[in-house]
Amino acid sequence: MSKTLYIVIPCYNEQEVLPETSKRLLEKLQSLVLKNKIADNSRIMFVNDGSKDQTWSMIKGLCEENSVFAGVNLSRNRGHQNALLAGMATAVKYADMIVTMDADLQDDINAVDRMIDAYYEGNDVVYGVRSSRKKDTCFKRGTAHLFYKLMSFLGADIVYDHADYRLLSRRATENLLNFDEVNLFLRGIVPMIGFQSTTVEYERGERFAGESKYPLGKMITFAFEGITSLSVKPIRMITIGGLLICLISLGMLIKSFVDYFNGNVVPGWASIMVSIWVLGGLQIFAIGIIGEYIGKTYLETKKRPKYIIESVILDDKDISIDRN
Ligand code: UDP
Ligand code: MG
């Protein structure tokens, strides 16, 4: 018997793309049902992440038109990752498998077919991986590459060129939802769940319409969050760095004693100034990083909810498809 699929799509101010996205997803879902790959009670679930435009009223309209659409409305904007979680937590009650993707059609929806095949082959996690980054700007390509390199250097097990386009089985999702941390960086956490997993390649396109909700500032914050929530290595590196500097200064002390007894007193104003500035900078940086971790611990101890769901629209009718 075919299984129930929920496609979860976080939406933040996506009124420009929603009509096209919903149309294409509907076609996709219907074709999958017709091929008996998924059950009739499968759904396309939009999560409205506190949009300020017409996104939520458009989602409500879609749900009224066709029961294949479902909507989750968050009480306010909580960010992409939390919107995904809210959608998955709602969908997992009904779905056998959940696909998450962006609203802007950058993720090629035709890859869903192969993800589902991989699921039936026994995979609990199927990562969508970009086959190329041709459409990205040089800058985005470069920084993304640097980010993945840095992550693997820091010991975080993340899948190269995989964003948040993936399929999770029900049990993988249930286990993911047990990771109770407030700072959740999904692409770092998902590999921790384990189970059998595979990747599916897809061509990442350009945003269909509207603007990116990840401007540079937000992207840097996101990368920083990712690093500090997955790895404590930066703190260790600071400790080692501090130790090295201590050793070097011990050497310098010995050298200056030797110089003193040999009568070589060097004026050395510039070198002192430079070392003060460099060390000062390093110290502030180090304190900053340690502060980052302390701040994270502080937030985690509060155990605040990651999102608040204001309303859910979910019709329990099976979708009606003309099977002729
Ligand atoms: N998004 C969200 N909440 C936010 C920011 C973004 O739900 O606060 C959604 C957005 O609607 C989209 C997805 O996250 O479906 C990815 O955002 P976007 O396409 O703007 O990012 P980019 O592809 O430019 O990195
Ligand atoms: Mg996008």
Pocket mutation for ligand 1, best pick of 7, 8, 9, 12 (most atoms within 8 Å of C-beta): 12
Is-contact 190 176, C-beta < 8 A?
Answer: yes
Ligand lying nearest the CA atom of residue 221: 1
pLDDT digits (tens, 9 = 90+) for 53-108: 999 999 999 999 998 999 999 999 999 999 999 999 999 999 999 999 999 988 89
Write the CA distances from 132 to 68, 101, 129, 143, 322, integer angstroms: 32, 18, 9, 15, 37
pLDDT digits (tens, 9 = 90+) for 208-233: 878 887 778 888 888 888 888 878 88
Q: What residue owns the CA closest to ligand 1's atom 1?
A: 80
Is-contact 109 28, C-beta < 8 A?
Answer: yes
Measured in whole angstroms, how far is the alpha carbon of residue 209 from the centre of its chain? 21
What pLDDT was estimated at residue 169? 97
323 CA distance to ligand 1 middle (Å): 35
- For the chain, strand residue ranges (E) read 5-11, 43-48, 69-74, 97-100, 125-130, 162-169, 197-202, 309-313
Instruction: List residues near ligand 1 (CB under 6 A).
Output: 10-12, 14, 49, 77, 79-80, 83, 102-104, 106, 207, 212-214
101 CA distance to ligand 1 middle (Å): 10
Radius of gyration of the chain (CA): 25
Sheet holding 125-130, edge to edge: 197-202, 125-130, 162-169, 97-100, 5-11, 43-48, 69-74, 309-313
Pocket mutation for ligand 1, best pick of 56, 104, 213 (most atoms within 8 Å of C-beta): 213
On the question of pLDDT at 319 being above 70, the answer is no
Among all chains, which residue has been given the structure tokens 């096209």?
Answer: 20
pLDDT digits (tens, 9 = 90+) for 8-67: 999 999 999 999 999 999 999 999 999 989 998 999 999 999 999 999 999 999 999 998
- ipTM for this prediction: 0.94
**Torsions phi, psi for 8 (to 5 deg):** -105, 125
SS3 of residue 228 by DSSP:
helix
Is-contact 55 48, C-beta < 8 A?
Answer: yes
36 CA distance to ligand 1 middle (Å): 31
Among all chains, which residue has been given the structure tokens 């100034």?
Answer: 273
The listed range with the strongest mean pLDDT (107-111, 152-156, 222-226, 258-262) is: 107-111
What pLDDT was estimated at residue 322? 54
**Torsions phi, psi for 157 (to 5 deg):** -90, 85
Q: What residue owns the CA closest to ligand 1's atom 14?
A: 80
Which of 86-90, 173-177, 190-194, 249-253 has the weakest average pLDDT? 249-253
Pocket mutation for ligand 1, best pick of 101, 202, 214 (most atoms within 8 Å of C-beta): 214
148 CA distance to ligand 1 middle (Å): 20
Give the predicted TM-score (pTM) of the model.
Answer: 0.80
Nearest atom within ligand 1 for CA of residue 13: 11
Q: For residue 26, with 0-12 CB atoms within 10 Å meaning exposed, 13-18 middle and 19 or more buried, which class applies?
A: middle
SS3 of residue 11 by DSSP:
strand
6 CA distance to ligand 1 middle (Å): 19
21 CA distance to ligand 2 middle (Å): 12
pLDDT digits (tens, 9 = 90+) for 270-279: 678 778 888 8
Give the whole-number percent of the chain exceeding pLDDT 90: 44
DSSP 257-286: HHHHHTT-----HHHHHHHHHHHHHHHHHH
